[in-house]
Amino acid sequence: MYYKEPLAVVWLKRDLRLQDNEAIYNAINTGKRVLLLYVFEDFLLKDPHYETRHWNFIKESIADLNQLLLPYNSKVLAVHSEVAAVLNQLLQHYEIRDLFSHQETGLLCTYHRDQKIIRYCHNNFITWKENIWNGVLRGLKNRRGWVGKWKNYMNASVFPFHPKNQLLTIHEIEELEKQFSVMDLATPEQNSIQKGGVTEALKYEKSFFEERYLNYNKGISKPKIAVESCSRLSPYLAWGNLSTRQVWQALKAIRHHSKNKKDLDAFAARLKWQAHFIQKFEMEHTMENASINKGYRMLKKTISEQYQIAWQTGQTGIPMIDACMRCLNETGYLNFRMRAMIVSFFTHMLWQPWQDCAVYLSKMFIDFEPGIHFAQVQMQAGETGVNTLRIYNPIKNGYEHDSNADFIRKWVPELAHLQTKHIHEPYLMTPLEQGLYHLKLGTDYPLPIIDLKQKRNRASKILWEMKHDPLVMEENERILDRHVIQPKPLNDAV
């Protein structure tokens, strides 16, 4: 038997960064040689929640890591395979006793995969050490004391990246690559979807804390302004180009000098919501497919393919909804309020099951984060029982948050030439007005596919009645006991 060099393997998941990466830090601390590994797993590549845009973001993140690793003469081994198969292959060359990764609060299919990896590691005498991800804790029964623990985690020192000539060299990794199906990291030039990588993430963070945050509260609900005044850090947090702790600590440093603490505190509160929602999903994983409040599982809706396609493609005849859907399809981004509104339209007005819009939106949101996503979709669908039922009126939201209709003009160009008084409700135009503007409704732009008022009343009546259902009420108690954290004033956020 020949000597095999000991190797610590870091399995990168949603932590595509070098700084404040506990898995990398722990691997380096073993004193062994270290390999950074990313596996493009077939079952995830085929999963309906993911789309090419996500894989491109990940490829860009790895390509960027490779640039950052150049001074260390190393790179990431990025292969298309299954994790156990890669470890098996690596075991031919190295003695592997340690596998490091973060704890993943992900889709059910990743949980099943993790179960397999636990068995694989056990059978092969490998210790798999999983570290906490962004303050989300495993095995909690309720939230008592959670905020304090989250704060301690956010305020603790970040994990530095100081390898001591331990990383496998580029040459060694290129030799290994010959035995795998290596992933081509090239991505098409896209202008409209945020690009992945630590370098990009830091640019967004810098511009936000230097200037953009000054309009945070003012712009947060307005789809055109929010593109600039919100941080746009969500994909970088979701894929781990930055840790929440890094952003939290940068925020604290800025807040110290800032005269604009209100905007920073509103942003800080949302950073806390990020972990809050993911913690909820960690403790309630069935939320991916079923309403958290079991009482709402009896709600049956008839699927309309025609409605769903009109919504997906931005052809509902309601300009604000169509603008949002077209913007999302092209850019992968929408601000919070508009996300809530399109879910409300789908589940309340079109009366379609939230599960269908959750899958479509996860594919479109470049920041798809299962923990936030399923909880938010259910909340906006009004199926949690514990949150206020909000049925968004897309016309009112248009007048209030896109008052000059700039956003609609940009994304629904067939209406761009209309006067603002017509653009939010083109279906009110008389045939004479349509003639004047050379716009034939039903041909150049669809007539509304539903009667908003009538559908709103139906949804409101059914959902309000359900609030009094004994199972819904019993479940409310359970959810509140398990998931509610003590409310904190916003100015206590940092």
* Residue 271 interacting with ligand FAD (CB under 6 A): yes
CB-nearer residue toward ligand FAD: 204 or 411: 204
* Residue 237 interacting with ligand FAD (CB under 6 A): yes
Shortest distance (Å) from residue 7 CB to ligand FAD: 34
* Residue 232 interacting with ligand FAD (CB under 6 A): yes
Residue 9: phi and psi, rounded to 5, are -105, 130
Q: Pick the stretch among 101-109, 153-161, 270-278, 457-465 that binds ligand FAD (CB under 6 A).
A: 270-278
* Helix or strand holding residue 108 (H, E): helix 108-123
Interface with ligand FAD (CB under 6 A), residue from 24, 233, 412, 493: 233
C-beta of residue 339 within 8 angstroms of C-beta of residue 376:
yes
Shortest distance (Å) from residue 27 CB to ligand FAD: 26
Instruction: State the alpha helices, DSSP H only, in 92-197.
Output: 108-123, 146-155, 170-177
Q: Pick the stretch among 169-177, 224-232, 292-300, 406-414 that binds ligand FAD (CB under 6 A).
A: 224-232
* Residue 378 interacting with ligand FAD (CB under 6 A): no
Shortest distance (Å) from residue 44 CB to ligand FAD: 16
**Interaction mask 24-43, ligand FAD, x per CB under 6 A:** --------------------
Residue 341's closest CA among 170, 226, 493, 469?
226
Q: Pick the stretch among 30-38, 287-295, 372-380, 433-441 that binds ligand FAD (CB under 6 A).
A: 372-380
Residue where the block lists tokens 């279906």: 427
Shortest distance (Å) from residue 247 CB to ligand FAD: 8
Residue 199, amino acid = T
* Residue 339 interacting with ligand FAD (CB under 6 A): yes
C-beta of residue 137 within 8 angstroms of C-beta of residue 476:
no
Rg (CA), the chain: 24
CA pair distance 140, 368, nearest whole angstrom: 24
Give the DSSP letter of residue 389: P
Residue where the block lists tokens 């609030």: 467
* Residue 154 interacting with ligand FAD (CB under 6 A): no
* Residue 373 interacting with ligand FAD (CB under 6 A): yes
* Residue 347 interacting with ligand FAD (CB under 6 A): no
Q: Pick the stretch among 58-66, 171-179, 336-344, 433-441 that binds ligand FAD (CB under 6 A).
A: 336-344
CA pair distance 266, 190, nearest whole angstrom: 31
* Residue 381 interacting with ligand FAD (CB under 6 A): no
3-state secondary structure of 50: coil
* Helix or strand holding residue 256 (H, E): helix 244-257
Q: Which residues are paired to 127 by β-bridges?
A: 98
* Residue 324 interacting with ligand FAD (CB under 6 A): no
Helices 261-283 and 470-483 pack at an angle, to 10 degrees, of 120
* Residue 470 in tokens: 């004994």
Residue 302: phi and psi, rounded to 5, are -85, 125
* Residue 277 interacting with ligand FAD (CB under 6 A): yes
* Residue 363 interacting with ligand FAD (CB under 6 A): no
Interface with ligand FAD (CB under 6 A), residue from 372, 408, 412, 429: 372
Interface with ligand FAD (CB under 6 A), residue from 11, 296, 345, 365: 365
CA pair distance 441, 451, nearest whole angstrom: 16
Residue 231's closest CA among 252, 246, 245, 210?
210
Contact set with ligand FAD (CB under 6 A):
230-234, 237-238, 267, 270-271, 273-274, 277, 335-336, 339-340, 343, 365, 367-369, 372-373, 376-377, 380
